[in-house]
Structure 1
Amino acid sequence: MNTRVEEVRIDLGHIELAAHLYGPEHGQPVIALHGWLDNANSFARLAPQLQGLRIVALDLAGHGHSGHRPPGTGYSLPDYVQDVLQVARQLGWQRFSLLGHSLGAIIAVLLAGAVPDKVTRLALIDGLLPLTDEATDAPARLGEALLAQLALADKKKPVYGDCERAVLARMSGRLAVSREAAELLAQRGLMPVPGGYTWRSDSRLTLPTPVRFTLPQAMAFVRRLSCPGLLVVAEGGLLAPRLEQLDGLPLEVCQLPGGHHLHLDDEVGACAVAHCFNRLFADS
């Protein structure tokens, strides 16, 4: 197991992204994409257990130590997809695999569906499709997002008196995580401010999405996947209640015990996920 981790920064011109680099220099190229409001430490338990891979675990734009998008712009899914493509170009990778959790899995599917010739393997953790709307919901959705954007200037980030309080808050968030997972995310996600600590993430990440795909549009990306792929579904995660809807998709599905962050919550979950993905990457 290779436990060496290198901190790198990747200048894309329009934004600078931070990342953790794992694995042998000549390993299979993999870009790892974390979930919403997480950071590159999402893969701190899993990445060292993946064999023969050169993994670049990004802090997505607006997260962790990466830059925030300029004022007047936002965090749309196509923008994230474009960032990943530019990262690969900066690294000199013509073809590469994608490892994604939650939001990161969604970004990975969109990229692999849009430019299938670029992606060699898809390793997904409890994420597949973006949230969708009916076409008739689009005007109300955009209106909600526009008003929320106007109100953002009056909102303040929470400030925690010490790191422990921030960790406890992360543990009990909407997508709860273990103490160990919260501590790992806090290591990279907190910054000191007057009065204590707050999260580095851009406040705009919590705004409503102005435009969503319809379900047929989202499914079109999945149907266009052409590379080998494996989706890990957490028994206590987001996808398990809809497991029957995954039948017939061009992906292998593996259901494992644990919650939405099963790859980070504990070593047992990380080992189980690694076992699945090592098999996927060995079949090359």
Structure 2
Amino acid sequence: MPSSSPSHSPLPPREITLDVQGNQIAARQWGDPAGVPVLALHGWLDNCASFDKMAPMLKGLNLVAVDLAGHGQSYHRHRDANYTIWTEIEDVLAIADALGWARFAMLAHSRGAVIATIAAATFPERVQRLALIDGLVPPPTTDAEAPETLRKGIEQRARYRGRRSRVFESLEVAVTARKHGLFKLSDDAARALVERGVRSCEGGYTWSNDPQLMASSLAKMNEPQVRAFLSRATMPIRLALGKEGIQGMIERIRPLAEQMPNLALREFAGGHHLHMEGSAEDIAEWFSPFLCGGEGRAG
């Protein structure tokens, strides 16, 4: 359980690199290598520093937080490849294999939470439990939207394929930009993501993320498909939602969650990155015994 007044500073994470089907995935490893294996997945355009604040509060775990493909310090996919949840799930399984994990739990935020849920539903024999933050499944689309979804995805892929990232004259300018981006962040949260998510270039710094991440998906799931995946995600799940998170998230997710007897939901103060800010300790206190296997749905 996390301590509100630790007597010493937590040990820093170990920087590791994993070979995933010939590609390099960068990661940070926290805790005890002999602890409960937990794979942490960050959200869209974030990186593994997303878990820097909360990870030291989670005890008894072998927690590996990765930079997903195209993010942070990990590899970029080929120019003719896609960044989709389907390809991310293949990477998740390959990462677990590279770590030697036959079974493992997952801690995930936002788009990472969607990837974790779909991965767990697809390979339920591999995933023991899910601790999710402000994300569960993608918003379903209708069959009638499929042609326009495909068109939009193809056009955006062409637009972003050769796009050059913005250059910032200093880290401080990049931190300010990230702080006031799509999801508002505190100074500390923005700085953590920026320090992991930029590279030096002529004129200063630029994002290390692949610009192709900005393109929308070529295909999306409809409601029956979303429900089919949820019906297979029968492992214990805890879901933390931000009271000031993505607009409409709680209203969309709660009816689904209430139909899942294996899922416990709690709302916490904060926005979309609530695990990086004031609610980090409260969430860690709820997740820690659960990830260690000590508690099931009751929450």
How would you bin the TM-score normalised by the shorter chain?
A: over 0.9
Q: Deviations over 1:66-120 (max 9, x none)?
A: 0001121011111101101011111111000010000110010001101111111
Q: Pairwise mapping of residues 13-92 of structure 1 onto structure 2 (< 5 A)?
A: 13-92=21-100
Residue 273 of structure 1 corresponds to which residue in structure 2? 283
Distance across 2 between alignment mates of 1:66 and 1:153: 18
What letter matches 1:240 in structure 2? I
Is the contact between residue 129 and residue 219 of structure 1 (CA under 8 Å) also seen in structure 2?
no
Is the contact between residue 36 and residue 292 of structure 2 (CA under 8 Å) also seen in structure 1?
no
- Matched residues, percent identical? 37
Is the contact between residue 45 and residue 264 of structure 1 (CA under 8 Å) also seen in structure 2?
yes
Distance across 2 between alignment mates of 1:145 and 1:275: 40
Q: Pairwise mapping of residues 108-257 of structure 1 onto structure 2 (< 5 A)?
A: 108-153=116-161, 155-238=163-246, 239-242=249-252, 244-245=254-255, 246-249=257-260, 250-257=262-269
Residue 5 of structure 2 corresponds to which residue in structure 1? none
Deviates further, 235-244 or 212-221: 235-244
* RMSD (Å) for aligned C-alpha atoms: 1.4
* Deviation for aligned residue 1:243: 5.1
1:258 aligns with 2:270: yes
Is the contact between residue 161 and residue 212 of structure 2 (CA under 8 Å) also seen in structure 1?
no
Is the contact between residue 159 and residue 195 of structure 1 (CA under 8 Å) also seen in structure 2?
yes
Is the contact between residue 4 and residue 23 of structure 1 (CA under 8 Å) also seen in structure 2?
no
* Deviation for aligned residue 1:190: 0.9
Deviates further, 243-252 or 52-61: 243-252
Q: Deviations over 1:121-180 (max 9, x none)?
A: 100000011132101111111111112222235633111111111111111111111111
TM-score normalised by L of structure 2: 0.91
Q: Deviations over 1:162-216 (max 9, x none)?
A: 1111111111111111111000001100111111211100000001111101122
TM-score normalised by L of structure 1: 0.95
Unaligned runs of 5+ in 2: 3-9, 295-299
* Deviation for aligned residue 1:241: 3.7
Distance across 1 between alignment mates of 2:201 and 2:218: 30
Distance across 2 between alignment mates of 1:31 and 1:182: 22
Deviates further, 199-208 or 142-151: 142-151
- Normalized per residue, the structure richer in helix is 1
